[in-house]
Amino acid sequence: MIGKIQSCAVIGHGSWATALVSILAGNGIDVRWSVRNPEVIDGVRQTGRNPRYLPSLRLPMDRISVYDNPDDAISDAPMVLVSVPSAFLKLYMENVQSCLCDRFVVSAIKGIVPGDYKTAIEWLHDTYSLSYSKMGMISGPSHAEEIAQEKLTCLTIVCPDKGDAQAIGSCLANGFVHVGYSSDLYGIEYAVVLKNIFAIAAGIASGLGYGDNFKAVLVSAAADEMERFIDIGYPYERDICTPAYLGDLLVTCYSTFSRNRRLGQLIGQGLTVKSALNEMTMVAEGYYAADCIRHMNLRYKADMPIADMVYDVLYRSVPARVAMAALIERI
């Protein structure tokens, strides 16, 4: 059991990491924040704000210490929360020399590690010889921008042991953040990977001019596709209609804050994939996930028409309108 948490190291300085740092510190947790970017370090120390991500959010600095060396942040922390884009996880972690095996490691990453074809939890487990019993993740429909505005948000804390999940949840729950719990570590990790791919599809449909009627059909089919893939890879008695699965899928497909939906929308409006990626100010995890899931599904052989369509558009240069027309015949 992790026990009562009084301090936590946070690795990452993006919008989600910044929102989590604010929640933890606001709940009286001593946050040891590992930040790679010198501009962000200076901004946080001088103004109490992250100048690059959620700059309007004032951070409770009386509980926050900022470090440019991840080992300094980790040194006295019993829990390490990793919140970086999955595409850059290896880059962020390359300077970590501390032993993580005696700490509880929590992933707040909703993506898959390119080239390794592993989720963040799997990669951290294998790289640092961790025990899954001392790992967890934070999931659920939770755009950082809404948390910064203190809008009601429901997180799902996922751990093999419910007591550990509740200990983590107690650090995050407040007046506008509610928490639920699950032990489906593998299923939810892949659900958050897949929903980013499906959000790109929803964005493509929007960019092409399809209306709400068809997008409702598309997202319904995406939920079925998600369930098929996860059930083949990780059989478990799960309810796909709960916030960690369907809820996260819905917000990522429909919200204007969704970077994956935005990427698809730009492509649907006629930009090339390269140009659309260059337009993005933040990482769209679904771009990398589409290739990884395609690779994994060579083994699972699940029926994945939406993921196949997104892969064809992103990696095989199939025109978005042609690919979407073909998809309509399959769902």
Q: Within this chain, do residues 222 and 299 fall inside the same structural domain, yes or no?
A: yes
**pLDDT band for position 40 (cuts 50, 70, 90):** very high
How confident is the model over 143-185, as pLDDT tens digits? 999 999 999 999 999 999 999 999 999 999 999 999 999 999 9
Distance between the two ends of the chain, CA-based, in angstroms? 45
Of the candidates 165, 183, 201, which is a domain's last residue? 183
**pLDDT band for position 123 (cuts 50, 70, 90):** very high
In a domain, 1, yes or no: no
Q: Within this chain, do residues 210 and 153 fall inside the same structural domain, yes or no?
A: no
**What is the pTM (predicted TM-score) of this model?**
0.93
Q: Which two tokens stand for residue 194?
A: 């897949």
Average the pLDDT over 192-218 and give the result. 97
Q: Which two tokens stand for residue 135?
A: 């790992």
Q: Within this chain, do residues 176 and 84 fall inside the same structural domain, yes or no?
A: yes
**Residue 302, SS3 per DSSP:** coil
Note the pLDDT of residue 4.
Answer: 86
**pLDDT band for position 26 (cuts 50, 70, 90):** very high
Q: Which two tokens stand for residue 302?
A: 């699940």
Note the pLDDT of residue 323.
Answer: 97
Q: Within this chain, do residues 87 and 52 fall inside the same structural domain, yes or no?
A: yes
Average the pLDDT over 118-126 and give the result. 95
Percent of the chain's residues with pLDDT above 70: 100
In a domain, 2, yes or no: no
Instruction: Say how many domains are in the chain.
Output: 2
Active site residue 4: no
The rounded mean pLDDT for the chain is 95
Q: Within this chain, do residues 179 and 191 fall inside the same structural domain, yes or no?
A: no
In a domain, 40, yes or no: yes
Q: Within this chain, do residues 151 and 276 fall inside the same structural domain, yes or no?
A: no
How confident is the model over 10-23, as pLDDT tens digits? 999 999 999 999 99
Of the candidates 183, 204, 220, which is a domain's last residue? 183
Q: Within this chain, do residues 255 and 307 fall inside the same structural domain, yes or no?
A: yes
Note the pLDDT of residue 115.
Answer: 86
In a domain, 108, yes or no: yes
Please determine, for residue 38, whether its predicted confidence score (pLDDT) is greater than 90: yes
Note the pLDDT of residue 98.
Answer: 87
Q: Is 235 exposed, middle or buried (0-12, 13-18, 19+ CB in 10 A)?
A: exposed
Quote the CA–CA distance of 9 and 42 in Å, as a whole number: 19
CA angle 94/41/140 to nearest 5° reads: 70
In a domain, 247, yes or no: yes
Q: Within this chain, do residues 69 and 175 fall inside the same structural domain, yes or no?
A: yes
**Residue 157, SS3 per DSSP:** strand
Of the candidates 154, 183, 212, which is a domain's last residue? 183
Most confident of 59-63, 85-89, 97-101: 59-63
Amino acid at 271: L
**pLDDT band for position 2 (cuts 50, 70, 90):** confident
Q: Within this chain, do residues 161 and 293 fall inside the same structural domain, yes or no?
A: no
Amino acid at 112: I
Note the pLDDT of residue 249.
Answer: 97
Q: Are 42 and 166 in contact (CB under 8 A)?
A: no
CATH number at residue 297: 1.10.1040.10
How confident is the model over 62-96, as pLDDT tens digits? 999 999 999 999 998 999 999 999 999 999 999 89
Q: Within this chain, do residues 108 and 201 fall inside the same structural domain, yes or no?
A: no
CATH number at residue 66: 3.40.50.720
* Catalytic residue, candidates 4, 118, 195, 274: 195
Domain that includes residue 258, residue range: 186-328
Average the pLDDT over 321-329 and give the result. 96
Note the pLDDT of residue 187.
Answer: 95
Please determine, for residue 275, whether its predicted confidence score (pLDDT) is greater than 90: yes
How confident is the model over 279-302, as pLDDT tens digits? 998 889 999 999 999 999 999 999
SS3 content of the chain, % helix, strand, coil (to 5): 55, 15, 35
Please determine, for residue 1, whether its predicted confidence score (pLDDT) is greater than 80: no
In a domain, 98, yes or no: yes
* All residues at 6 or more sequence positions from 257 whose CB lies less than 8 Å from its CB, including other chains: 143, 145, 146
Q: Within this chain, do residues 170 and 192 fall inside the same structural domain, yes or no?
A: no
Please determine, for residue 99, whether its predicted confidence score (pLDDT) is greater than 90: no
Q: Within this chain, do residues 110 and 50 fall inside the same structural domain, yes or no?
A: yes
